Amino acid sequence: MLIKRPADIPSSEITPEAQYVNRRAFIGTAGTLALAGLAVPATLAACTPADDRRASDMDAPELEQDEKVTSEEDATSYNNFYEFGTGKEDPKRNAGSLRTSPWTVSVDGLVKAPKRWDLTALLAGLAVEDRVYRHRCVEAWSMVIPWQGVRLRDVINRLEPTPSAKFVEFTTLLDPQQMPGQRTNVLPWPYKEALRLDEAMHPLAMLATGMYGKTIPNQNGAPLRLVVPWKYGFKGIKSIVGIRFTTTQPRTTWNDAIPSEYGFYANVNPTVDHPRWTQAKERRIGEFLRRNTLMFNGYANEVGSLYAGMDLRKYY
C-alpha cells in the first residue's frame, strides 16, 4: 500500500474543510480515514483494540450552526506555547527541535501505583474519540478545532488515584535544549497546570494526541496535551510528561506568575474581565466581526453544575 508523506498531501486532499462544519460529518469522515491508517495519530493507532473502538459523539454538544472549524493552517500557525517563544508564530517556527518519540509520563502522588509510563502503554486499549471543540484564549481570540484523543477520565481510572486525591496536576517537559523559550525567565519553568478531580473526570475533558485527523503537531502540544474546552486556553497544558494526584490545590504557572490576572479555575466567563481587557467579546480567528463570549465557552449546560454555589467572580 502506498502511503504519502504528510508534506506530499495538499490539505484539500485530506478532508475538505466544509465537512468539518457538521460535527457528525466530521466524525464519519475521521472514521473512514482511520480505516486507511491516516486519521488516528500513530500513538493511538498502535494501541487501539482490534475492533477499532471509536467513541460516539455522546456527551459532546453540537456547535451552533454559524460556527465552522478554524482552518488547519490558522490553528497550527497561531499559537501560545511560550516554551518556543512568546510570539504567536514562534511555536511553529521553533518547535521542530522537539523530539516526541519515545515519550514517557511520570505518574505519582496519591495514586495506587506510582510509575513511569511509556505513552503508548498509558493509552493502550482506551477508546479513541473525535471531538470538535470551541477554544477561547484569555487574550479574547478563539478557534474551533477538531481533536482526536482519549477521555481524561479513562486515563485517570487506569491510574487509580486513592480516595484522598482531590486534584490532578500536569507538568510540561523541561528541556531548554529542545525548548528554547525555557532559556528565558518569561515564566517559571517547567509549566504546570491542574484541575479539580471532578473537573478532570468530566466527559468533555480529554488528552489529545491528534487534530484535523493527523498526529498533533509539535507547536500544538505534541505528543500529549490537555483539552478542557470550557476553560481559557492556558489551562490546556502541552507536551505533558508528569501527572500527579494531590489532596490540596496545586500551584499553577500563570497563577504563580500573575495571580491578579490568572486564577486557578480559568473558566470562560464574559462577566469577569481581565484587568487589561474585556472578556465579553471575542474574535474568532478567520472572522472579521467579534462575537459575544459564551458562559463556560458555550458548555454551561454540560459543566455548570461543577461550580454550583461558587462565587465565580472570586474563583476566577
* Mean predicted confidence (pLDDT) in 136-156: 97
pLDDT at residue 28 in the model: 38
* Mean predicted confidence (pLDDT) in 29-57: 42
Question: pTM score, two decimals?
Answer: 0.85
**Runs of H (alpha helix) within the chain:** 11-14, 18-21, 23-35, 42-47, 72-77, 90-94, 119-123, 152-159, 197-200, 253-257, 300-303
Torsion of CA 29, 34, 38, 39, to 10 degrees: 60
Q: How far apart are CA 273 and CA 174, in angstroms?
A: 32
Least confident piece of the model among 29-43, 102-116, 149-163, 297-311:
29-43
> By C-alpha distance, which of 276, 274, 199 is closest to 235?
199
Query: Tens of pLDDT along 53-98?
Result: 444 444 668 788 778 999 999 999 999 999 999 999 999 999 999 9
Q: Band the pLDDT of 31: cuts 50, 70, 90.
A: very low
From residue 246, how far is each of 195, 206, 307 by CA, in Å?
10, 20, 20
pLDDT at residue 44 in the model: 52
Q: Which cell is 276 given?
A: 487589561
**What percent of the chain has a predicted confidence (pLDDT) above 90?**
79
Query: Tens of pLDDT along 112-141?
Result: 999 999 999 999 999 999 999 999 999 999
Domains annotated on the chain, with CATH: 15-307 (3.90.420.10)
Q: How far apart are CA 247 and CA 3, in angstroms?
A: 48
Q: Which residue has the cell 504519502?
A: 4
Q: Where would I find the beta strands (DSSP E) of 36-187?
A: 104-109, 115-118, 129-136, 141-151, 167-172
pLDDT at residue 36 in the model: 33
Of 20 and 234, which is predicted with more confidence? 234
